[in-house]
């Protein structure tokens, strides 16, 4: 096989998300468990939620040698912070993320029959878990996060959290007495800057 096959970027074995496939060997069925702290990749975020920068993940990874390559499995719990989609209060939570990813040997049938974006590849002796981790975490982030499942949100008229309002709270905008007061106030308030247009009738 020509050497120019290996034009992919070289993986840095010191990167904690890079694993050495030699740890598990090439005998199908053999397994290796590796546990290590991993700094969370940067920029894992959606509009209202994000994984806090600087967080450390306790990664417990199983490498399994299969015919076509190395199968990596892990479940990792990721801290999440964000703003509630109903009341905008900040909250903290965590999501559990399952990852199972095959990294094919360069000379395998999988390598011949799939594209690298479909199935990962071993690069030399190493594999990079970061793309799979990123994809899995972003998919697991809630698109409409809530501070709690039954968050009642805010009163749409005054913006105060329903938790801080009495149950009978309302703004009575439809109250006919209030509507009458409104119609008395409006003409005087707006007659000064009206440019010739009549806005309703004058109060009698
Ligand atoms: Zn809320
Ligand atoms: Zn209100």
How many other CB atoms are found less than 10 A from the CB of residue 94?
12
What is the Å distance from ligand 2's center to 84 Cα? 19
What is the Å distance from ligand 1's center to 165 Cα? 14
How many helices and strands (H and E) does the chain possess?
Answer: 3, 8
Q: Which residues surround ligand 2, an ion (CB under 5 A)?
A: 155, 157-158
What is the Å distance from ligand 2's center to 203 Cα? 29
Q: Which ligand is nearest to the CA of 158?
A: 2
Give pLDDT tens digits for 91-139: 999 999 999 999 999 889 999 999 988 899 999 999 999 999 999 999 9
β-sheet bridge partners, residue 62: 33, 73
What is the Å distance from ligand 2's center to 181 Cα? 19
What is the Å distance from ligand 2's center to 162 Cα? 8
Contact 69, 102 (CB under 8 A): yes
> Which of the 8 DSSP states describes residue 144?
S
Q: Which ligand is nearest to the CA of 153?
A: 1
pLDDT of residue 10: 85
pLDDT of residue 59: 95
What is the Å distance from ligand 2's center to 89 Cα? 17
Contact 163, 84 (CB under 8 A): no
| Statement: residue 60 has pLDDT above 90 | yes
pLDDT of residue 172: 74
With pLDDT > 90 as the criterion, what percentage of the chain qualifies?
76
Is the pLDDT higher at 86 or at 190?
86
Q: Which ligand is nearest to the CA of 150?
A: 1
Question: For tokens 């972003």, what's the residue?
Answer: 138
Q: Which ligand is nearest to the CA of 169?
A: 2
What is the Å distance from ligand 1's center to 159 Cα? 12
Residue 3: Cβ-neighbour burial (10 angstroms; 0-12, 13-18, 19+): exposed
pLDDT of residue 27: 94
Give pLDDT tens digits for 23-49: 999 999 999 999 999 999 999 999 999
């Amino acid at each position: 096989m020509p050497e120019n096959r290996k034009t992919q970027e070289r993986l840095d074995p010191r990167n904690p998300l890079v694993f050495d496939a030699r740890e598990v060997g090439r005998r199908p069925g053999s397994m290796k468990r590796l546990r290590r702290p991993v700094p969370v990749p940067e920029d894992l975020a959606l509009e209202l939620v994000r994984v806090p920068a600087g967080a450390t993940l306790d990664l417990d990874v199983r490498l399994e040698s299969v015919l076509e390559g190395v199968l990596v499995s892990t479940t990792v719990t990721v801290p999440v912070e964000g703003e509630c989609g109903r009341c905008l209060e900040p909250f903290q939570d965590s999501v559990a993320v399952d990852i199972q990813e095959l990294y094919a040997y360069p000379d395998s049938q999988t390598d011949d029959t799939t594209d690298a974006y479909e199935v990962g590849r071993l690069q030399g002796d190493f594999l990079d878990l970061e793309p799979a981790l990123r994809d899995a975490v972003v998919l697991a982030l809630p698109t409409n996060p809530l501070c709690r499942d039954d968050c009642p949100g805010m009163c749409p008229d005054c913006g105060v959290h329903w938790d801080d309002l009495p149950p009978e709270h309302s703004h009575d905008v439809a109250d006919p007495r209030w509507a009458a007061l409104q119609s008395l106030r409006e003409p005087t308030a707006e007659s000064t800057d009206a440019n010739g247009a009549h806005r309703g009738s004058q109060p009698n």
